[in-house]
Amino acid sequence: MSTQFLNVFLGEQYTRHLFLGTKTNMTKRKQLYEGKAKVIFEGPEAGTLVQYFKDDATAFNAQKKDVIKGKGVLNNYISEHIMTAVGDLGIPGHFIARLNDREQLIRKLEIIPIEVVVRNVAAGSICSRLGLDEGTTLNNTLVEFCLKDDSLGDPIIAPEHIFTFGWTTKDELEIIVEDTLRINDFLTGLFLGIGVRLIDFKLEFGRLYHDQDAADDNVIMLADEISPDNCRLWDAQTNEKMDKDRFRRDLGGLVEAYQEIANRLGIKIPDLDS
């Protein structure tokens, strides 16, 4: 994202403020929310937020926790790369710009409390739920929905639950599934091109309101991040895991695997020791 674009979007004064130094400037920003892997701060302009990528790693609803130095920086750069490419397809998303090694400027959305999981190959929870062998290719791409609620352990739900409880309208869910399948097709090709199999991944969406008083006047946008934290990525030659399963399953080498994904995507990552 060019400085020129940001000048148009935010005004020159804010762009200058944002780019003052490349290190994070957490104390000056009001924290709004802290999640397991990210912190959300107030943005410099109405309708914007700042998303900060932590080094914290959690799994199994945060029962397993660690801090993995460099993970946040890697996810910030990898997600910037993928969100930008998905945006270029014409799928609207919250990402505006990477501000520094750990922060992104994003649009403020009303987050839809649903996790959309896409599976091409059986791995993770579907294997234990349905008794499948890991690595079984699915006959077709499977889209699953989970309620985003840590206190309930993000339970799997059907579209009927989504409509019954009003989490989305039917039209909204249709857009979400259509965007999700396009993203899956695109990312499957993108990763295959760098010798990586896209096994599964998780997306989140939100609503951007043009007018707060007109509830129908909104656009569905891709939110959150797309990184090896929320995708399963296997090396195409060896099936070696190159994603957060390295942490979930105590395999070690998480930073090296994320760094390898970044290298293959042609993303230059700063020195993680500095």
Q: Which does 248 bind (CB under 5 to 8 A by kind): ligand ASP, ligand TMP, none?
A: ligand ASP
Alpha-carbon distances, residue 30 vs 108, 148, 154, 173, 263 (angstroms)? 14, 24, 28, 33, 34
Binders of ligand TMP among residues 153 to 192 (CB under 6 A) are: 154
Stretch that binds ligand ASP, among 57-65, 129-137, 168-176, 213-221 (CB under 6 A): 57-65
Contacts of range 52-59, beta carbons closer than 8 Å, 24 or more positions apart: 52/24, 52/26, 52/102, 52/103, 53/79, 53/102, 53/103, 53/104, 53/225, 57/229, 57/244, 57/247, 57/254, 59/244, 59/247, 59/248
How many residues contact ligand ASP, by CB under 6 A? 8
State which residue, 29 or 232, has the beta carbon closest to ligand TMP.
232
Q: How far apart are CB 200 and ligand TMP at their closest, in Å?
A: 4
**Chosen residue from 62, 181, 192, 219 binding ligand ASP by CB under 6 A:** 62
Q: How far apart are CB 39 and ligand TMP at their closest, in Å?
A: 17
State which residue, 11 or 135, has the beta carbon closest to ligand TMP.
135
Please check whether residue 37 is in contact with residue 220, taking contact to mean a CB–CB distance below 8 angstroms: no
Residue 124 sits in the site that holds ligand TMP (CB under 6 A):
yes
Binders of ligand TMP among residues 83 to 122 (CB under 6 A) are: 117
Please check whether residue 68 is in contact with residue 244, taking contact to mean a CB–CB distance below 8 angstroms: no
Residue 58 sits in the site that holds ligand ASP (CB under 6 A):
yes
Identify the bridge partners of residue 219 per DSSP, sorted by sequence position.
208
Residue 232 sits in the site that holds ligand TMP (CB under 6 A):
yes
**Chosen residue from 13, 22, 31, 61 binding ligand ASP by CB under 6 A:** 61
E strand or H helix at 88, and its extent?
helix 71-88
State which residue, 80 or 115, has the beta carbon closest to ligand TMP.
115
Lay out the site mask for ligand ASP across 36-55 (x = CB under 6 A, - = otherwise): x-------------------
Residue 67 sits in the site that holds ligand ASP (CB under 6 A):
no
State which residue, 1 or 59, has the beta carbon closest to ligand ASP.
59
Q: Is 54 left (phi over 0), alpha (psi -120 to 50) or beta?
A: beta
**Chosen residue from 7, 25, 125, 218 binding ligand TMP by CB under 6 A:** 125
Please check whether residue 57 is in contact with residue 187, taking contact to mean a CB–CB distance below 8 angstroms: no
State which residue, 107 or 232, has the beta carbon closest to ligand TMP.
232
Please check whether residue 127 is in contact with residue 199, taking contact to mean a CB–CB distance below 8 angstroms: no
Residue 147 sits in the site that holds ligand ASP (CB under 6 A):
no
DSSP code of 28? G
Amino acid in position 205: F
Nearest one of 81, 91, 32 to 228, comparing CA atoms: 81
Q: What whole-number distance in Å separates Cα of residue 54 and Cα of residue 102?
A: 8
Residues near ligand ASP (CB under 6 A): 36, 58-62, 244, 248
